[in-house]
Amino acid sequence: MESLPQELLIEIFQHLSIIDLVNLSKLNRNFREVIETTPKLKYFTLTFDKKGKTQSEKAKRFAELTVHHYSSRIHQQVLFICGINITNVNFIGSSVTYAQIANILRLTPNARQIKFENCSTWPEVVRQLPELKNNSLYIQLIESSSCILDIFLRSQVNALSLVNYSEEYGTGIRGFLGSQPHLKSLNCKGPKILDTFYAMGNSYSENYKYLPFRLKILVLKEISWNPIYADLLLPNCRSLTYIELIDIMNINEEFEEFINKCLQLEEFHLQNCYFSIIAPVNVKKLGLRGFVGQAKYIKKMKKLKVLKISNSSSIDYDFRTNQELEQVEVTGVSVYNSFSMPYVKKLVMNEIKKVPETLFKEPLSKIEEIHINNCGFCTDQILRELAISGKNLQNLTVTNGNVNREVLRNTRRILGNLKNFTTKNLIFDEE
């Protein structure tokens, strides 16, 4: 078998389990080189199922370990060989103990993303906690006990996602946050949100003094805003550069004050959150999705460069006061009032449902690039408007729309400065 050509060896090895591949790599140098230098064999997903067997999914972009049940006798040998390549570790409905989790993580020192979903475990003394020091270490805790985080008290966590977790035994959220001065991203959802914020403002445990971390990213989902949140969050949020709010209720002026104190905030995303007067002045990128009202505060954002609007039909598209606004993207909306964007250089229109009789109030003096995608029968009307207002346009892309051939020809002829005119999957309607 050693004399077989490499192509044939690869074809044979693709049908073997990970246990067989590990054993083959130990058999001789030739087999090991074939396995280690072939992406289809090197990158795999280890799945530890409840029967204690190890399965393999080949040709993965990264190495991933999913643990349902762990047996050191069966699996430890595999991790000794393969653990160094694993970047993602998932504990799904797992019944593993503290010691087993710690052991797995020690054998996967390059893990960058660790997820616990529907996991419940009991705190216990672990002789040696894993020390994961990756700059991009991301932990997800989904429907699981927060005491699991005790295992990471000696690790350097960059991002944390909490979804409907349960606060049980151990030092929990408070002890964990108190041990993480490098935490930069926090994603929260569920009824324990107040406990999380309280822990942020009062992180302390018997073994770890409070270490004030400086969050860069904050994502909040499905909560009712309480004024006390601002007092608890602000000490750790003055350095925020990214905030995303999804389905937040009870937004008020106090929240505006909280946002405006985040002077380094550059990217702000809202989904189904109604704001009336908020205007974070330093924001450069704004995303609006769902019900967000008329968003009149956009006019106050003097440093805004990129604006993305999705499924929000009540927006006022008058951007004459936004002199630094360079890119506007609108998706899945009905446009009822005319666009006024004298400083915009790039416009993207996706799945537009309706446009007014006059789409552009004035000539598009600075706009250089426009993309019209999946706009159906609105495509024809948009092209007619561009033939009038887009004389300086240099790049135009039109895909998946209904157009009249004559309108398309006239648009190409009138827009004489076009350097690139791309069309794809158009349906032609003859008048």
Mean pLDDT, the chain cut into blocks of 10 residues (431 residues total):
78 76 75 75 60 51 73 72 83 82 87 89 73 85 87 89 76 76 86 68 46 76 77 75 86 75 88 72 90 80 93 85 94 91 94 91 89 94 90 91 90 87 87 51
**Could you tell me which of 347, 299, 295 has the C-alpha nearest to residue 320?**
299
How far is Cα 14 from Cα 428, in angstroms, rounded to an integer?
Answer: 48
Q: How many residues does the chain have?
A: 431
| 3-state secondary structure labels for all residues of 341-384 | CCCCCEEEEECCCECCCCCECCCCCCCCEEEEEEEECHHHHHHH
- pLDDT on residue 211: 47
Which residues are CB-contacts of 294 (< 8 A; sequence separation ≥ 6)?
314, 315, 316
The CA distance from 87 to 347, in Å, is 38
| pLDDT given at position 59 | 39
d(CA 66, CA 194) in angstroms, rounded, equals 31
Q: How far apart are CA 219 and CA 173, in angstroms?
A: 17
H or E element, residue 57: strand 54-58
* 395 in Cβ contact with 423 (< 8 Å): no
CB 288 within 8 A of CB 312: yes
User: Are the beta carbons of 113 and 159 closer than 8 angstroms?
Assistant: no
Q: What is the pLDDT of residue 85?
A: 79
Confidence at residue 28, expressed as pLDDT on a 0 to 100 scale: 79
- What is the distance between the alpha carbons of residues 411 and 396, in angstroms, rounded to a whole number? 10
Residues contacting residue 378 through CB under 8 Å, at least 6 positions apart = 352, 353, 354, 355, 401
Are 283 and 303 a contacting pair, CB within 8 Å? yes
What gap in Å lies between CA 292 and CA 313, rounded to an integer?
9
Contacts of 42 (CB under 8 A, 6+ apart): 35, 36, 85
So what's the pLDDT on residue 299? 86
Using a cut of 0.85, tell me whether the model's pTM lies above it: no
Rounded to whole angstroms, how far apart are CA atoms 299 and 340?
12
What is the H or E stretch that residue 9 is in? helix 6-13
Cα 331 to Cα 374: distance, rounded to the nearest angstrom: 10
Cα separation, 24 vs 188, in Å, equals: 45
- The pLDDT of residue 200 is 67
pLDDT for 269 equals 92
Around Cβ 244, how many Cβ atoms within 10 Å?
16
pLDDT score for 51: 53
Q: How many whole angstroms separate alpha carbon 190 and alpha carbon 222?
A: 7
Residue 203: the pLDDT is 46
